[in-house]
Amino acid sequence: MIDLKLLRDDPDRVRESQRRRGEDPSVVDRLLDADELRRAAETSFAALRGEQNALSKHIGHLQGRLKKAADGEKEQAQAELDAAMAGTSDLAERVRAADARRVAAETDATALLSQLSNVIDPHAPVGGEDDFVLVELVGTPRDFAAEGITVRDHVEIGEALGAIDIERGAKVSGSRFYYLTGIGALLEFALVNHAIALACGNGFTPVIPPALVKPSAMEGTGFLGQASENVYRLEADDMYLVGTAEVPLAAYHSDEILEATSLPRRYVGYSPCFRREAGSGGRDTRGIFRVHWFDKVEMFTYSHPDDAENEHARLLGWEKQYFDSLEIPYRVIDVASGDLGASAARKFDIEAWVPSQERYREVTSTSNCTEFQARRLRIRMRDEDGVRPLATLNGTLVAITRTIVALLENHQQADGSVRVPVALRPYLGGREVLTPL
């Protein structure tokens, strides 16, 4: 959720942010009204409750005196007590009513507040999915024709290597499922170990988080809003399968206050990711590019708000470093306002070159969620100025399936084998090439 003070002080900024996202700016005005009501209800309740507290205390004193009173004084003390008790029921009734009004006003305001997406970073490009800004182009796609190679896609290559089994994935689990077998399975471990090594070398704490979470964790990270149709829910237990380790890593410190001196806190999580892919229609139906489940190594930082922008650059830097080491051509894009999730103020994607499609496709994504998630999850920091929300950021180091797609296709060779990039070899027992069975 956003800062109510910002909403009061500069509602235009929030309205503009909503507009750029293509979301409803009128929520801002309804929330301002609801907030006004909430504060009024709060004030009148506090006044009545104060009255009741004072009276209660007085009654307590009188009862104490009655107990200790000598026989001759008992009648007098009793009379005073009776006088004080007169009207207490009526007061209690008014307190109850005021409290009910307060709770109702609070519920209304909170509901509206939770509808607002994060305030967009003014530097983020405005527009929809196609209005991204190209930040950087790294590497050059190979000229396969010049090499005399007819490009094969990852399904062909992967099946020849005995690395990917899509048919049996469908047999057992349905469409958009797969098995990684043999060298495919080993490839996952190699990619994961390589990623974890990079992260640990940069001060990240490795974490294996739960992939099944309570509604509050899902809600707090902002995935139950417009993204909710893509989330798997286990009805019988009211639990959710996470779509990314971001969820359990963000909720990890929920309801906690961290010392500002302990920031930034960097965690790198390895977890399965489950996505319903509702609304993705018939897109990317071939292969393992878009699947209902995959494993991923995700970076997550709890940061001082003033350092969030720099941390965002660092996360992107580590993502680039990882893809550089895989020797895969890619581009970096600054994602446009309409394509940001509810929590992100700004987002950069790395898109790897996919030879069989002759275009760049998303393989990683890093978001600066500023204080938005932290407010929802009640994660704060304490410094000399007191206690306030901190900033959270996340970034993919490696999403296994899409990286395997890019790896197999970009490093394919004329004889059907696949060259292993140098950085990955130590994690594959020194293998330099993957050969068909």
Residues that bind RNA (CB under 7 A): 4, 39, 42-43, 45-47, 49-50, 52-57, 59-61, 63-64, 67-68, 85, 88-89, 91-92, 95, 257, 380, 382, 386-388
For residues 156, 159, 164, 165, the Cα torsion angle rounded to the nearest 10 degrees is 110
Of the candidates 49, 101, 233, 290, the residue annotated as catalytic is 290
Of the candidates 21, 375, 376, 402, the residue annotated as catalytic is 402
Nearer to RNA among residue 52 and residue 413 (C-beta) = 52
Q: Which residues pair with 15 in a beta bridge?
A: none
* Distance (Å, whole) CA 215 – CA 319: 30
Nearer to RNA among residue 54 and residue 137 (C-beta) = 54
Contact 371, 359 (CB under 8 A): no
- We find the least distance from the C-beta atom of residue 136 to RNA, in angstroms, to be 40
Nearer to RNA among residue 49 and residue 233 (C-beta) = 49
- We find the least distance from the C-beta atom of residue 403 to RNA, in angstroms, to be 29
The H-assigned helical ranges of 69-126 are: 74-85, 88-115
402 catalytic per annotation: yes
* Distance (Å, whole) CA 234 – CA 225: 17
Nearer to RNA among residue 54 and residue 422 (C-beta) = 54
Beta-carbon contacts of 175 under 8 Å, excluding residues fewer than 6 positions away, are 285
Residue 378's closest CA among 395, 392, 393?
392
Nearer to RNA among residue 111 and residue 387 (C-beta) = 387
- We find the least distance from the C-beta atom of residue 249 to RNA, in angstroms, to be 19
Contact 410, 418 (CB under 8 A): no
* Distance (Å, whole) CA 373 – CA 165: 38
365 catalytic per annotation: yes
8 catalytic per annotation: no
Nearer to RNA among residue 67 and residue 283 (C-beta) = 67
Nearer to RNA among residue 52 and residue 357 (C-beta) = 52
- We find the least distance from the C-beta atom of residue 99 to RNA, in angstroms, to be 8
Measured CA to CA in angstroms, residue 161 lies from 92, 149, 398 at distances of: 77, 17, 21
Of the candidates 152, 275, 346, 376, the residue annotated as catalytic is 275
Beta-carbon contacts of 18 under 8 Å, excluding residues fewer than 6 positions away, are 24, 25, 27, 28, 116, 117
Q: For residue 264, is the peptide bond before it cis, meaning its omega torsion is within 30 degrees of 0?
A: yes
Q: Is 72 exposed, middle or buried (0-12, 13-18, 19+ CB in 10 A)?
A: exposed
The H-assigned helical ranges of 213-307 are: 215-220, 246-251
Of the candidates 23, 106, 156, 362, the residue annotated as catalytic is 362
- We find the least distance from the C-beta atom of residue 9 to RNA, in angstroms, to be 12
Measured CA to CA in angstroms, residue 294 lies from 130, 206, 210 at distances of: 26, 19, 15
- Which residues are catalytically annotated? 275, 290, 362, 365, 402
